[in-house]
Structure 1
């Protein structure tokens, strides 16, 4: 949780440039240097990396992120591969930082997989993911109970952005 009154013991971040930049901004006042972790990156796109959504749709005949069973393009991850990676990463984080407050700066797909898979009776099929897409820069807060159960305290909370000029929660990204 990135509240003013909750300070982290550790800040973890994806290796993707936009996440690193955000982590540096939010972690700056804490004095904690963000630790980069490649397993927190978004679903890998493969050869489609950098294409606009229009270019991707023209080239592959479907909108990106509508097929969780196959890679986005050659060299990319399937939804299953992505979900497996994210769950392994979150399990590692919990095991390594047990009892600590951890801020993770990552991407919508990582957050969605966590929500869909960690929710009680979590979906094995990631096709449910588009229904739970969080806004960029939203705060999503999990607590790990004493019995190891994940409890979602906040999801898609972007109230910290109210009144900021240029804020567009829920805006669709322009590229894959």
Structure 2
């Protein structure tokens, strides 16, 4: 059995669409970070997206755990021209597309960004490589909201819309066990 412990990075406090923009994480709540590190398997292997909010969060929880190189394929959704803009700003210029992107996720893409289906394909490939390379391991994967939702969608065989209904808080853990009989999620969005 392989375990995925998907950790959402520390908060950025941005009130805009943050995908590939490299904003720092606020890790000042050291007690919460310590509880998270304590909760994760001590024999886990840590990997993160290459964006600094994930790298810093992974650094903060690593302790004596083995660390893999950062992986750019584990980045958040690429929002393209919507990066660092608020929903209201985008809606003022592109109301139909922004609504379709969130209400019927799939092939709709932001200008110069990627669709939900493209994100899912990218992330599924990265996770599959990790599972194949580290079969039977406990993988602690420090990533983003969208990345975690792709794996919840996959594990629970949900539609994209159903996956988007899940709340994923900063510094939470979503655990997935991969067995011969399938993928099992438990818990989702656990705050230690």
Q: Which bin holds the TM-score, normalised by the shorter protein?
A: 0.7 to 0.9
Q: CA deviation at 1:57?
A: 2.3
Counterpart Cα distance in 1 of 2:69 and 2:45: 8
User: Residue 73 of structure 1 aligns with which residue?
Assistant: 110
TM-score w.r.t. the length of structure 1 is 0.77
Supply the distance in 2 between the matched residues of 1:112 and 1:79 (Cα, whole angstroms).
Answer: 10
CA distance in structure 2 between the aligned counterparts of 1:88 and 1:148, rounded to whole angstroms: 20
For 1:71 and 1:46, locate their aligned partners in 2 and report how far apart those are by CA, in whole Å.
12
Alignment of 1:39-118 (within 5 A): 39-61=73-95, 62=98, 65-118=102-155
Q: Secondary structure at the match of 1:44?
A: coil
Provide structure 2 residue ranges, at least 5 long, that are not aligned to the other structure: 6-35
Structure 1 runs (4+) greater than 4 angstroms displaced: none
Q: Verify the 8 A CA contact 1:116 1:126 in the aligned structure 2.
A: yes
Residues 69 and 149 of structure 1: CA distance in aligned 2, closer, same or farther (over 3 Å)? closer
Structure with the bigger RCO (C-alpha within 8 Å, sep 6+) is 2
- Match 2:56 to one of 21, 25, 31: 21
Q: Does the aligned pair in 2 maintain the 1:48–1:72 contact within 8 Å?
A: no
Q: Distance in 1 between matches of 2:181 and 2:131?
A: 9
Q: Secondary structure at the match of 1:55?
A: helix
Q: SS of the counterpart of 1:111?
A: helix
Paired with 2:145 and 2:54, the residues of 1 have a C-alpha distance of 11
Which consecutive unaligned segments of at least 5 residues does structure 1 have? Answer: 161-176
Distance 1:12 1:156 in 2: 19
After superposition, the CA RMSD in angstroms is: 2.1
Q: What does the per-residue CA deviation read over 1:154-173, in whole Å, with 9 as the maximum and x for residues that have no partner?
A: 11101x2xxxxxxxxxxxxx
Aligned to 2:46: 11
Equivalent-residue separation in structure 2 for 1:16 and 1:65 (angstroms): 23
Cα distance in 1 for partners of 2:77, 2:168 equals 15
